[in-house]
A and B are shown apart, each in its own frame.
Chain A
Amino acid sequence: MSTLQVAAGGHALPAPAPAAPAGRSLWSDALLRLKHNRPAVLSAIVLGLIVLAAIVVPWISPFNYYTPQWTLLDQPPAWHGGHIFGTDDLGRDMLVRVMWGCRISLLIGMVASVVSVLIGVLWGATAGYVGGHVDSLMMRIVDILYSVPFIPFVIVLVVMFGRDLFLIFVAIGAVSWLDIARIVRGQTLSLRNKEFIEAARASGVKGPSIVVRHLVPNLLGIVVIYATLTVPSVILFEAFLSFLGLGVQAPMTSLGVLVSDGASELQSYPYLLFIPAIFLALIVYCLNYLGDGLRDVLDPKDR
């Protein structure tokens, strides 16, 4: 692997100074190694393009996602006429709708992931750092929550308390912090007896700021990996809710809504399923690959 790296990217490696070799930080080192992971780089590029298109296309397109055009129902994709992805059963432009779907799905994915990462990191780091009874109590709670059948719980929540976007964020975010909490706790346990933590404690830093200032930054690598892997699972979960009719409300749309609408008309208008399904799969696929790539470069175990 190392010979490959030198061969492939001689220009990228900084020439070491003869006297004092310039130390590379964890992050610049990781970035360098990520650049050599071709699937991860490709995934990042594709994701960037999708995000860019999702932001720009609805903005510059002459069509919007909600106005029906009764003379243009179910038009198949075509270059001329302006509807390159065709139109849906209400004559709305599919390109704009798919891009709005990407916006909403990515937004839900990111917001819910941020929620779950915040809860998970603080919970896990506190449990690991404080230790003892607090640790076993906190981890016991995580164990119990692991046994809660989450799909039914979220369905009940959404049905009983109305379907607004905020509730979906919170419900999904609250579901997916458990893995992160466990992993962060494990990492914290191995970090808490390191010298630099002891030094901080000896110089009088209080517990909470040790967690936030000294532990969390050292956990960032692993957190980045799991945050990247949480986004696709959240996007899939939102799609699942939307498929059951419990997700985003019409006329607003998400990739899950588009896919489930398309699935019902698969036989007559296959493009209504395939176009959003390809975008959904592409986003999830790229995020998973990127997460795997990040794991390879950031996880200290796999050096």
Chain B
Amino acid sequence: MLRYTIARFAGAVPTLLIIITLAFLLLHAAPGGPFDSQKQLPPAIKANVERMYHLDEPLYEQYFRYLGNILRGDFGPSYQYRDTTVNEIIRQGFPIDALIGGAALLGALLIGLPIGIFAALRRNTAWDHIPMGLSMIGISVPVFVVAPILILVFAVNLRWLPAGGWARSFPLHLILPAAALAAPYIAYVARLMRGSMVEVLNSPFILMARAKGVPERLVILRHAMKPALMPLVSFLGPAFAGVITGSIVIETIFGLPGIGRAFVDGALNRDYTLVLGVTILYGVLIVACNLLADLSYSLLDPRVRY
């Protein structure tokens, strides 16, 4: 197990390196520099600015300088926001994304799991078909349709919740964005849970438990539940990364100061360091989530041994 863990961690390093290199090269291959779009700078000043940001060095020197800085946890200064580092932008924005993403995922589990189990137990009845049909709607309707409708109903008409914005101590601002973000994940969780529960309920050891006369409630709770939850473990890792990157739209709609919005603004304004920093952060997050999911899977499932 330890060997497997170390091997997996070691395997993540080249992946991250490739992501960083890809992002770095892509941004530097893009036509137009970060200081081109503003009003024409006099050549001497432009040269000074470029020297300040090391843009006058050859590409490979910039690359290794950047790589060295990242290793020290320094994403460099933002090109767009003067006197602000990318680290500061991430430190301010990321907790909001993590909070909303976490709340959305938690909500998706709390609602999706019971629906999936219930549908599996009432397989091929209306109790199965109706929730599964509804869940397909949850997958088919994009977030940016759900979110304005939620705002219209709960913020504009009912006036229960704020329509957008962010206040640090105020969890009410969290509810609508998290709900909009959670909608498709409720559907995914319910469908996944139904599928794996149906499969588990058809397996021999459940038949065995029933044959022994174990009450149906205990068959479900004690015997079927744990193996049926296994596919969910490997789903949760990518799903967390998904809600974090997926919150770009949510932040735009609700006017939240998260990193997703900073990322889109940065891309539009050619703020290379910001875009690069956030892309790398997303990459690290995805790799870490997948790693965590795999490791916990091998811990939980006694059949997986390394």
A289–B133 Cα gap in the complex (Å)?
9
With A156-B27, A156-B267 in contact, do A149 and B148 touch (Cβ < 8 Å)? no
Point out the residues of chain B lying under 8 angstroms from A151, CB to CB: 245-246, 248
Cβ-defined partner of A146 (8 Å) among B140, B142, B290: B290
Q: What is the bound-complex CA distance between A267 and B153, given in angstroms?
A: 10
Contacts of A156 in B (CB 8 A): 23, 26-27, 30, 267, 275, 279
**Secondary structure of the A contact surface, majority rule:** helix
Q: Are A281 and B148 in contact (CB under 8 A)?
A: no
Interface of chain B, helix or strand or loop or mixed? Answer: helix
B155 to chain A, nearest CB (A): 11
Asked if B120 is an interface residue, CB under 8 A from chain A, the answer is no
Residues in B with CB closer than 8 Å to A159 are 267-268
A288 on interface, CB distance cutoff 8 Å: yes
Cα distance A159–B27 in the bound complex, in angstroms: 10
Contact indicator A148/B249 (Cβ below 8 Å)? no
Tell me, rounded to whole Å, the shortest Cβ–Cβ distance linking B287 to chain A: 5
8 Å CB contact of B282 from A146, A149, A285, A289: A149
State how many residues of chain B have any CB contact under 8 Å with chain A.
47
CA distance A146 to B15 in the complex (A): 10
B283: which of A148, A277, A284 is its contact (CB, 8 Å)? A148
Kindly state the separation between the CA atoms of A277 and B252 in the bound complex, as whole angstroms.
Answer: 19
Is B264 interfacial (CB 8 A cutoff)? yes
Establish whether residues A280 and B144, one from each chain, have CB atoms under 8 Å apart when the complex forms: no
- Residues of B within 8 Å of A243, CB to CB, are 142, 144, 249, 252
0 or 1 for each of B260-291: is its CB under 8 Å from A? (1 = yes) = 00011001101000010011001101110010
Question: Which B-chain residue is minimally distant from A153 (CB atoms)?
Answer: B279
Is A147 a contact of B15 with CB atoms below 8 Å?
A: yes
Tell yes or no: B22 within 8 A of A by CB.
yes
B208 within 8 A of partner (CB): no
Q: By the criterion CB–CB under 8 Å, are A157 and B278 in contact?
A: no
A161 and B148 in contact, given A147-B286, A277-B141 (Cβ under 8 angstroms): no
Task: Assess whether A143 is interfacial by the CB under 8 Å rule.
Answer: yes
Q: Which 6 A-B pairs have the closest CB atoms?
A: A149-B282, A160-B30, A284-B140, A285-B140, A263-B148, A159-B267
Residue positions of B touching A, CB distance < 8 A: 14-16, 18-19, 22-23, 26-27, 30-32, 136-137, 139-142, 144-145, 147-149, 151-152, 156, 241, 245-246, 248-249, 252-253, 263-264, 267-268, 270, 275, 278-279, 282-283, 285-287, 290
- 18 interchain pairs (CB within 8 A)? A144-B14, A149-B241, A149-B245, A149-B286, A151-B248, A152-B275, A155-B267, A159-B267, A160-B26, A240-B249, A244-B249, A263-B253, A266-B151, A267-B152, A277-B145, A280-B142, A281-B140, A281-B145
- Contacts A282-B140, A285-B136 aside, 11 further interface pairs with beta carbons under 8 A come to A144-B14, A144-B15, A147-B286, A149-B241, A149-B279, A155-B267, A156-B30, A244-B248, A259-B144, A259-B145, A266-B151
